[in-house]
Amino acid sequence: METKKQPLVQVQNLSKYFKLSKNDILKAVDDVSFEINDGETVGLVGESGCGKSTTGRCLVRLYEPTSGKVIYDGKDIFDAKSKKDKMELHKNIQMIFQNPYSSLNPRMTVKDIVGEGIRLHEKVGEKELDDRIEELLKAVGLNRDHMSRFSHEFSGGQRQRIGIARALSVDPKFIVCDEPISALDVSIQAQVLNMLKRLQRERGLTYLFIAHDLSVVKYISDKIVVMYLGMIMEQADAEELYKNPCHPYTKALLSAIPEADPDIVRNKERIKLKGEIPSPINPKECCRFVERCSYAKPICSEQIPELKTIDTNHKLACHLY
């Protein structure tokens, strides 16, 4: 029996609250725990307000958490105090942003955007820098001619690829992909997805893939975590989650996806969720999904369900089980 290698990233009881006013607390992320193994892709799914973006930003330390730890390669990233330690983290953990229109500085050329990280972390001469940038651009399907252009001259898909080249420029091991394809056209989404998979194979990368589209997430992830209003509802290996979804929310999410197949989509048994997505401000300390759940029992409005393991690698937070 192989001893299980320690996961590359361990999120332990991560919480991020925002104080909006004297009495209002927005619990964006509430006691979230999961693990990402080396070379793996974990998909983080949920709709608006579920806290997936906030979780992602905590992992790259754009936010300081209210409580909890994120262990990367054995060390809590929030313990890094010195400039050297912080720079070491920046070299290893990077992020790809959702909006290709606001994630590139409109006043910088592609060369500047992609070269910034390299210049910051290494001492390289001009010629070597140019070569490195060209190599990165080639890896994302662009070329040398694009180096002197500005971001507004590119399409959304091309801009996103520039963003990926930027994330790769410092040679990271772990990349948080924050809805990297949501803003792109369908055929471009496939390009970028394939590219991300190829880059992962070639460079041994580990991904946290944040998305609201379950079909995309299934395609790229090894494990999936489903969030709702700041808490984890269910998590499992990808195949298992789709074959055997247990949480009412997961089931509803899966049935809501419009399939690109008229026969299937018109005859699908739809689980219709009633109501709107409630607000994460001052949530009641009970199951977050209770208001929209058709199977709710009295206990669901009183107690937060624990995240329990119900099968290998399959965890569930629901009073029904």
Partner 1 sequence: MDKILEVNNLKFSFKTYGGIVQSVRGVSFDVNKGEIVGIVGESGCGKSVTAQCLVRLNPEPPGFFEEGSIKYKGKEITEMSEKELRTIRGVEIGFIFQDPMTSLNPTMKVGKQIEEIFIQRKLYNKSELKEKALEILKLVGISDGERRYNQYPHELSGGMKQRIMIAIALVGQPSVVIADEPTTSLDVTIEAQILDLLKDLQNKTKTSIILITHDLGVIAKMCDRVLVMYGGKIVESGNVDDIFYSTRHPYTSGLLGSIASLETKRGVELSPIEGTPPDLFSPPPGCPFAPRCQYAMEICYNKMPPEYEISKEHKTVCWLEHEYAPDIKLPCKIRKKSEVS
Partner 2 sequence: MDNNYELKNIDKSEFRTVGKNAEKMESITRPNLTYWADAWRRIKKNKVAFISLMVIIVYIIMAIFAPMLSKYDYTAVDSSKMNQFISSEHWFGTDELGRDLWVRVWRGARVSLTIGFVATVMNTIVGGLIGGISGYYGGALDTFIMRVIDVMYGIPSLIVQILVMVVLKPGVKALIIAMCITGWIGSARFVRGEVYRLKEQDFVDAAKVLGVSNFTIIVKHLIPNIMGLIITNVTMAVPGAIFSEAFLSYIGLGIAPPECSWGVLTKTGVKMLRVYPYQLFIPAFFICTTMLALNLLGDGLRDALDPKLRGTE
Per partner kind, with CB cut-offs from 5 to 8 A, the member of partner 2, partner 1, none near residue 97 is partner 2
CA pair distance 297, 300, nearest whole angstrom: 5
In angstroms, give the least distance from the CB of 139 to partner 2: 14
Residue 65 lies near partner 2 (rule: CB under 8 A): no
Per partner kind, with CB cut-offs from 5 to 8 A, the member of partner 1, partner 2, none near residue 62 is partner 2
HSE-up (13 A, CA, CB side) for residue 154: 27
Residue from 163, 230, 245, 248 binding partner 2 (CB under 8 A): 163
The residue type found at 194 is: N
| 11/291 with CB nearer partner 1 | 291
Helix 83-92 vs helix 110-121: angle between axes, to the nearest 10 degrees?
130
| Interface contacts to partner 1, rule CB under 8 A | 47-48, 141, 155-158, 185-191, 193-194, 197, 212-216, 218-219, 238-239, 242, 252-254, 256-266, 270, 272-273, 276-277
Residue from 14, 36, 104, 164 binding partner 2 (CB under 8 A): 104
Task: Name the DSSP letter for residue 140.
Answer: T
Contact in structure between 69 and 76 (CB atoms under 8 Å)? yes
Per partner kind, with CB cut-offs from 5 to 8 A, the member of partner 1, partner 2, none near residue 123 is none
Per partner kind, with CB cut-offs from 5 to 8 A, the member of partner 2, partner 1, none near residue 80 is none
Whole-Å CA distances, 275 to 29, 150, 217, 301? 22, 44, 25, 17
| 148/155 with CB nearer partner 1 | 155
Instruction: Say which residues have a Cβ less than 8 Å from residue 89's Cβ, sequence separation at least 6.
Output: 61, 72, 77, 80
In angstroms, give the least distance from the CB of 13 to partner 1: 27
168-187 mask for partner 2 (x: CB under 8 A)? --x-----------------
Q: What sign has the CA pseudo-torsion 294, 297, 301, 307?
A: negative
Gyration radius (Cα) of the chain, Å? 21
| 128/239 with CB nearer partner 1 | 239
Give the strand pairing for 314-316 and 231-237.
Answer: antiparallel
| 106/258 with CB nearer partner 1 | 258
H or E, element range at 68 = strand 67-72
